[in-house]
């Protein structure tokens, strides 16, 4: 395997006159469909490979690209192709491919690097509202379920809210002032100690009821956020072309799109299925799906969808999964340090292995 840390331009040139095989059929393929179509490469994708037999089937409703096990893919005897690793923590896949001689001469790109090189080429300056009227209340909400002590990073982030938003009310929500038994999803997530998934629902419920701004406790404000209050509602992309309310979301109270994000489908589904497995679908999947239904293109561009302003990632700059610092410029309101408290043990181990590979390969 020829592992290539190249960016968008190198990947685009490499895939010409070749087929693309994506390795990883988890969340990422559903985030990047619009982007791959915009790049003009989506019709070159022949297969997805995944190690989980539970994921076998198809990716994307319109195109139905097959998902195969690695053995089933090799049985196809496909020639003249490149691999694109579509998995956030890519080290286990790299290690697997390095052990198989069938991939010795195959070029392999990592979507995280292709994405990173492209993301800031699509930067557009924040649009100025027609009327500079404050609509969103000057309240910052945050959730802290489980009773653990705040880390030094979290303390520092909350202090930054006070520094840059001195006249805002800051409200902490926990078991003492919020009912985690409102639905089965939250009740089971809370009982399982999956506090981040409780917060995923609770934050939208709180904003729908009271209005204001929600921030995760690992979001550090670096300048005044007053201008955000002119929106009816806002949210931003994370590192991938999917929405992430944890980095920052705001709304007037009673916003119907926010209510749909909250309830579809988490108000009616369990967190734990009949086999005892946790539903670890992230908030990004549910939130993106609602706005996509109303015309959102998941391509990093600033868009106004049903009076919901969708910001480019630079406005709530996410720390990069590939181990680099967040990209910050004069338009950045806050840094999302992406602490990842929701991740399970395997995901954390895989991320550590990925970062270790990056350090080793850069030496």
The residue behind tokens 């007053």 is 226
- What domains are defined for the chain? 2-122 (3.40.50.20), 139-343 (3.90.550.20)
> What pLDDT score does 344 carry?
60
What is the pTM (predicted TM-score) of this model?
0.91
**Residue range 285-292: mean pLDDT, rounded:** 96
Give Cβ neighbours of residue 38 (< 8 Å, ≥ 6 apart). 297, 299
Comparing 212 with 326, which gets the higher pLDDT?
212
The angle that helices 184-191 and 195-210 make with each other, rounded to 10 degrees, is 140
**Residue range 16-41: mean pLDDT, rounded:** 94
pLDDT for 224-234, tens place per residue? 999 999 999 99
Long-range contacts of range 273-276, CB-CB < 8 Å, 24 or more positions apart?
none
> What pLDDT score does 255 carry?
98
Give Cβ neighbours of residue 136 (< 8 Å, ≥ 6 apart). 211, 212, 213, 228, 229, 231, 232, 233, 250, 251, 252
The residue behind tokens 């929600």 is 214
> What pLDDT score does 1 carry?
84
Whether 325 has a pLDDT exceeding 90, the answer reads: no
pLDDT for 103-157, tens place per residue? 999 999 999 889 988 987 766 677 777 678 999 999 999 999 999 999 999 999 9
The residue behind tokens 């705001």 is 250
The model's confidence at residue 322, banded by pLDDT at 50, 70 and 90, is: low
> What pLDDT score does 332 carry?
93
The helix/strand/coil state of 10 is: helix
**Residue range 62-85: mean pLDDT, rounded:** 95
d(CA 355, CA 46): 29
């Amino acid at each position: 395997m020829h592992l290539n840390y190249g960016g968008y331009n190198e990947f685009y040139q490499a895939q010409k006159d070749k087929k693309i095989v994506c390795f990883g059929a988890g969340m990422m393929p559903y985030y990047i469909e619009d982007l791959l179509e915009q790049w003009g490469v989506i019709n070159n994708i022949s297969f997805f490979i995944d190690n989980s037999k539970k994921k076998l089937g198809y990716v994307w409703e319109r195109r139905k690209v097959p998902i195969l096990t690695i053995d089933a893919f090799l049985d196809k005897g496909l020639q003249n192709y490149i691999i694109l690793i579509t998995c956030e923590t890519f080290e286990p896949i790299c290690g697997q491919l390095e052990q198989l001689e069938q991939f010795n001469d195959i070029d392999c790109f990592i979507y995280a690097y292709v994405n990173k090189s492209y993301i800031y080429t699509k930067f557009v300056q924040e649009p100025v509202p027609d009327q500079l009227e404050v609509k969103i209340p000057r309240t910052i909400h945050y959730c802290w379920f489980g009773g653990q002590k705040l880390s030094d990073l979290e303390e520092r982030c909350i202090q930054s809210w006070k520094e840059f938003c001195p006249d805002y009310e800051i409200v902490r929500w926990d078991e003492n002032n919020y009912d985690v038994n409102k639905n089965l999803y939250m009740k089971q997530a809370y009982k399982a100690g999956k506090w981040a998934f409780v917060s995923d629902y609770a934050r939208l419920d709180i904003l729908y009821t009271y209005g204001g701004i929600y921030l995760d406790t690992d979001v550090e404000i670096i300048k005044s956020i007053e201008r955000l209050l002119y929106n009816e509602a806002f949210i931003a992309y994370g590192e991938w072309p999917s929405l992430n309310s944890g980095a920052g979301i705001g709304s007037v109270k009673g916003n119907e799109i926010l209510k749909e994000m909250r309830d579809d489908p988490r108000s009616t589904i369990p967190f734990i299925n009949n086999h005892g497995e946790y539903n670890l679908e992230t908030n990004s999947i549910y939130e993106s799906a609602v706005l996509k239904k109303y015309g959102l293109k998941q391509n990093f561009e600033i868009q106004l969808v049903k009076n919901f302003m969708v910001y480019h990632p630079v406005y709530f700059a996410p720390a990069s999964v590939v181990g680099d610092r967040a990209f910050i410029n004069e338009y950045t309101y806050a840094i999302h340090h992406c602490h990842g408290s929701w991740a399970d043990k395997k995901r954390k181990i895989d991320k550590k292995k990925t970062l270790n590979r990056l350090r080793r390969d850069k030496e």
